[in-house]
Structure 1
Amino acid sequence: MPSHNQVRKRSQLAFRSFLAMLVLCGLYQFFHLSPCMMRSEERVSGYFSTPTDSTDEPLCPLYDKVEFKDPDSSVYILHDDEFKNKSVSRLSRAIQIPTWIDDEGSDFTKFTKFHEYLETEFQRVFDAANVFKVNTYGIVLEFKGSNSSLKPAMFTAHQDTVPPGDPQKWDKGPFSGYYDGTRVYGRGASDCKNLLIGLLESMDYLLVKGFKPERTIIFAFGFDEESSGKYGASHISKFLLEKYGPNSLYHIIDEGFGVFMELQNKNFAMLATGEKGYLDLGIEVLQPGGHSSIAPDHTAIGTISKLISRYEDRLYNPILVNVNPTLNTLQCIAEYADIEKSLKKDILRAHFDEKSNERVIQLLLDDTNTKYNVLTTHAADIINGGDKANALPQNVTALINHRIAHGNDFDTIMDRITGIATGVAKEHGMGLIVEEEILIEPTLAGSINIKAIYKLPVAPITPINDEIWASLAGHYRTFYEDITYPEKFEDDVLVVSAGIMTGNTDTRHYWDLTDHIFRGQPGFTPMTSGVHGINEYIDADSHLHIVAFYYNYILSIS
């Protein structure tokens, strides 16, 4: 008979595998609290709660199902062959119009053809909406409600895609929109023309049924999400703030991976209610030039290399705080999935018990699939410098990208890099300038300059203890338990939990419009779906989930 430790180890391996699936799906990050991060007297609300062993209230409650107003139409959308073929055709033709962009210098005129397609294919939708073209290529569709006391609800997607890469590596052409009877292939099939077309299809069918909303419904489609949204969503946000004002929207639901997941014989729906922070840090080393035959002990390239190497040698401390939505993900897993008892106990105590928190941290750190998802990460991605073999480099630059965990912030990073850079500067007799503040005066040997190039705080957390979350969770329960997979739920329920979006979406620009921002969409996203890679695809059935769910959800809330 295996020992208790062997049983726990096997359970931990299964649990790490389970969490790795979440990570590989791109849905969630896990960040954890280390006792060395702060002294006990510095722990404040949001880090640990008052200790309690009470089991009266679940940490991951189930929400009452919400009755659909027109369930038969959702069933029709999911199962009618004629509707499915038309839906697949609409998505396929959208994929066939390239709308990929680069980080800089993109030609946005290509979006004109895409707009023409949308306006022709969904003429009924555009005719029913107040149409606004924001910064030329951003699309805002306003379906005006009759009750001005109801806050508008917004749904978003983006028109752009990443570049296709080498078309020769695709089994089907990246812009073929090929349908094999099960899947639709091509760039944007799952990120995220499927969502954009699905929203338009749901509204088109609502209008066929005579839809007249009380609540204003807004569709917002940016065009440069893949390069931070500075021309698209950024301008759309300013437009909406001027039109409606701050905190004026009921909610925003944006892209994300398909919410439906079957894990360890349990069905979950996971919606991201937060995003990691982001920081691009620029480092510049300036040194006098000269002939390489009389080189100093360390050239500018050697100096910056030493700084980067020392910085990379020190990983950030893992951290799990109560404000992190990932804690809700873990709690839902522990309360409903079949895991070993002591592990379950640790997870359910991790929000107030330091030792339990440490053990949950270690569980994730021990696995390479989850190790880097429990930390604020740093990655030296770009380095430039040097002109020729016999000339000393005078100006060498590097860019280090960071994804910031809840519980860390910009100061966490600036303090770390400043401390390391100070040591290097003193060793080499150089100056140090951080964020334009002179910490060590530049010398004849040169200087090290550090500056934040682009930064985004950790996203505000969407609450999950109010009617908006309960309504959305209840709609998902009804959709999957009663409409989509009734055979799966004869003796089961759908568990809806919060989580973290691994990447940043266009919602980074919409924080001032509402406190309720969700990232995720109906359907399922297999790990093999090729998002940002080759052979990107979407299951046709998964695409129909978008149309069928939003048809009744929009009908219900408006």
Structure 2
Amino acid sequence: MKKLVLGLLLLLVVLVIVIVVKTFLYPFTPIQKTTAQEEQIPISAISIQRFAGGIKIPTVSTVDSAAFNYAPFDSFRIYLQDAYPQIFEKLEFYTINTHGLVFHWKGKQSTVKPILFLSHYDVVPPGEYNPADTAAPHLFQPEDKFAGPITEIQDAWDYYPFSGNVKDGRIYGRGTLDMKNMLFAILEATDKLLTANFTPDRDIYFAFGFDEEVGGTEGALKIAEDFKQKNITFDAVYDEGGIISTKGSLSGINASVALIGCAEKGFWSARVRVKGLGGHSSMPPLHSAMGKAAIIMTRLEEHQMKPMVIPIIEQFFKNIGGTMSFTSKMAIANQWILQPVLLNTLSKNHSTNALIRTTTALTQMKGSDASNVLAPVVEFVVNFRILPGNTVADVRQHLADACKGFDVEIEDVRPAREASNVSPINSQGYAVMNRTINKLFPGVVVTPYLTIGGTDAYKYEIVSDHVYRFMPIAINNFEQQTIHNNNEYISIQNFSRMIRYFELMMKEYDTK
């Protein structure tokens, strides 16, 4: 018995030594130490004014096509023509499906593959705001004809959400982060380069959709199909997605991290109708339709799809691991034995859980309209965000398994979409981003990442194998929470860096 115990202790010691050695030998990306200071990039008053003016126009998209108000979208295009006459004069401009805006900047070598920069100019509704704020003094006064509908009086917004108010180094309003900022930064960079008589080495395209917030089927999808029909393929496509998450924003990571979305999750929303015995609540059945629905929903939450570390997340861990604690490094470097521990730890946090599994979100439920009536049918909606490596068919089977033993009907709320392709990091398109980010944000860790939300980018996979999702802004958790929320704003410093980023991307794409 003593020999057995000693043998086990020896094995344990050997195991610990192996784990420690493997941790030291694991090829974590070296963290570049730099003394370089972040460049303070000047920005002109006219650049701020043009951007703020675009925020004033309430280009709110709606799912209901019959309720879609296109008047602000027409006004926005006219506004751009007035604000950037040089761009409209020197670049080819055309529209797709009336409101999709496309620009073509001819380069010196039209035989090489062009690059494409995306944005969208529709925004989500502003929510509730205090109508008294529309009369508050602003640097740029909102135009009455663009004032949105006044809702219930609340103090949710400090400023009228379509004011483009500039105060304390910030620009406020719906769309300042999602994502008129990207559109105006691209145009400001282009205008600056045109003024300097710059001609790109290769053709550059811009494509600005108008319904990204409600699916992009009439904007980005139609534009991508038009490119496909014209046999135009791109060396790289750039859209929103990742950001620079400032130091302290990502738990356990002791650095600012530039998250380049090389892929995005798919999605499927399903409506589940659960049938039961209806009637008066005075004589309820042992199991009502609502009770049955509750069992199914509990199954879905307690038995979710299997977590896994996909290759893009493996690379993410390799890149950021050098900034993490030794314990975290051990888990990453020794997944051959510690992966269950790693997955269990990641599963406990909602943000990291989304990186390792197809997530399950119960979003809507409907039962009886009266407190004393049993509904014969109870329905709920579940939204899945599908991890690359899982398929829509996998998720459908997962939901069907959760519903076993009950009389249900399942229907799509919206057409399902598979997870995107994964774009490589050994391409010129990725390398240029890496180089440009390091110029503007010294000391930042650049890494591929999985974009959790949906973007227009995946629609352009039919015209490029290199699709990247990244917005060059450095923001903390609080600022991230203003996206689609009250008091959305961008700092002037971030906007100026965005302009410089796109200027360098266009100017130096072919620089070795």
Shorter-chain TM-score range: 0.7 to 0.9
Match of 2:9 in 1: none
Which residue is equivalent to 1:86?
46
SS of the counterpart of 2:381?
A: strand
Aligned to 1:223: 210
The Cα of 1:371 is off from its aligned counterpart by: 4.6
Query: Normalization by structure 1: what TM-score?
Result: 0.74
Decide whether aligned partners of structure 1 residues 122 and 382 sit closer, same or farther in structure 2, where only a CA change above 3 A counts: same
Residue 71 of structure 1 corresponds to: none
Partner of 1:462: 423
**1:115-126 equivalences in 2 (<5 Å):** 115-126=77-88
| 1:312 correspondence with 2:301 | yes
Residues of 2 paired with 1:269 and 1:391: CA distance?
Answer: 54
Question: What whole-Å deviation, never above 9, does each CA across 1:86-144 have from its counterpart, x for those lacking one?
Answer: 22212111111111223323323321111111111011112222212111111111112
Alignment match, 1:284: 273
Distance in 2 between residues matched to 1:391 and 1:419, nearest whole Å: 29
C-alpha displacement of 1:240? 1.4
* SS at 1:422 equivalent: coil
Match of 2:445 in 1: 495
Equivalent of residue 166 in structure 2, options 169, 172, 179 = 179
Q: Is the 8 A contact 2:277 2:288 kept in 1?
A: no
Equivalences for residues 447-458 of structure 1 within 5 A: 447-453=407-413, 454-458=415-419
For the Cα contact (< 8 Å) 1:98–1:175, is it kept in 2?
Answer: yes
- Secondary structure of 2:216's counterpart equals coil
CA deviations on 1:234-286 (whole Å, 9 max, x unpaired) are 111111111234xx111111013433633566453221111112111121245
Match of 2:199 among 208, 212, 219: 212
The residue aligned with 1:480 is: 441
| Cα RMSD for the two superposed structures | 2.9
SS in 2 for 1:262: coil
Q: What is aligned with 2:504?
A: 552
Q: Quick check: 1:60–1:328 contact (8 Å CA) kept in 2?
A: no
2:404 counterpart SS class: helix
Distance 1:254 1:208, change over 3 A: same
**Residue pair 2:354, 2:452 contacting (<8 A) in 1 also:** no
Residue by residue, what CA displacement relative to the aligned partner does 1:3-42 show, whole Å, maximum 9, x if unpaired?
xxxxxxxxxxxxxxxxxxxxxxxxxxxxxxxxxxxxxxxx
User: Normalising to structure 2: TM-score of the pair?
Assistant: 0.80
Q: Distance in 2 between matches of 1:93 and 1:207?
A: 22
Identify the structure with bigger relative contact order (alpha carbons < 8 Å, sequence gap 6+). 1
Q: Which runs of 5 or more residues in structure 1 are unaligned?
A: 1-51, 66-73, 426-446, 482-492
Q: Which residue of 2 aligns with 1:188?
A: 175
Match of 1:517 in 2: 467
8 Å contact kept, 1:260–1:522: no
Does residue 1:102 correspond to 2:77, yes or no?
Answer: no
Does the CA contact (< 8 Å) of 1:257 and 1:525 recur in 2?
A: no
Question: Quick check: 1:477–1:494 contact (8 Å CA) kept in 2?
Answer: yes
In 2: Cα distance, 1:58 partner to 1:215 partner:
36
Give the aligned length. 452
CA contact (8 A) 1:60 1:497 kept: no
| Counterpart residue number, 2:234 | 249
Cα distance, 1:357–1:99 mapped onto 2, change above 3 Å: same
Residues 451 and 61 of structure 1: is their aligned pair in 2 closer, same or farther, counting only changes over 3 Å? Answer: farther
- One-letter amino acid matched to 2:314: L
CA distance in 2, matches of 1:109, 1:415: 44
CA–CA distance in 1 between the matches of 2:416 and 2:265?
11
Q: Is the partner of 2:166 in helix, strand or coil?
A: coil
Distance 1:224 1:242, change over 3 A: same
From 325, 329, 351, the equivalent of 1:344 is 329
Q: Residues 453-499 of structure 1: CA distance to partner in whole angstroms, max 9, x if unpaired?
A: 42111111110123332232123223334xxxxxxxxxxx5432111
Code of the residue aligned with 1:306 in structure 2: it is I
| Matched-pair contact (CA < 8 Å) for 1:177–1:184 | yes
* Structure 2: stretches of 5+ with no match in the other structure: 1-20, 131-155
| Shift, 1:156, TM fit | 0.6
Taking the aligned partners of 1:88 and 1:298, their CA distance within structure 2 comes to 61
Asked whether the equivalents of residues 245 and 476 of structure 2 are also in contact (C-alpha less than 8 Å), the reply is no
Paired with 1:368 and 1:238, the residues of 2 have a C-alpha distance of: 36
Distance 1:466 1:372 in 2: 26
For residue 378 of structure 1, the aligned residue among 360, 363, 366 is 360
Q: How far apart, CA to CA, are the structure 1 residues paired with 2:325 and 2:453?
A: 29
Change (3 A) 1:302 1:149: same
- Secondary structure at the aligned position of 2:362 is classed as strand
Identity of aligned residues (%): 28
Q: Which letter does structure 1 place at the counterpart of 2:502?
A: Y
Which residues in structure 2 correspond to 1:126-141 (within 5 Å)? 126-141=88-103
Query: How has the CA–CA distance of structure 1 residues 217 and 400 changed in structure 2, closer, same or farther, with 3 Å as cutoff?
Result: same
CA contact (8 A) 1:174 1:187 kept: yes
Cα distance in 2 between the residues matched to 1:417 and 1:314: 11
Compared CA separation, residues 554 and 293, structure 1 to 2 (3 A): same
- Contact 2:474–2:494 (CA<8 Å) still a contact in 1? yes
Are the counterparts in 2 of residues 409 and 457 from structure 1 also a CA contact under 8 Å?
yes
**1:386-436, CA deviations, whole angstroms, 9 ceiling, x for partnerless residues?**
46677764554322101122333223322222123222x2xxxxxxxxxxx
The equivalent of 1:60 in structure 2 is 29
Give the corresponding residue for 1:363.
Answer: 345
CA distance in 2, matches of 1:62, 1:250: 29
Residue 347 (structure 1) shift: 1.3
Matches within 5 A, 1:317-328: 317-321=306-310, 323=311, 325-328=312-315
- Matched to 1:384, the amino acid is K
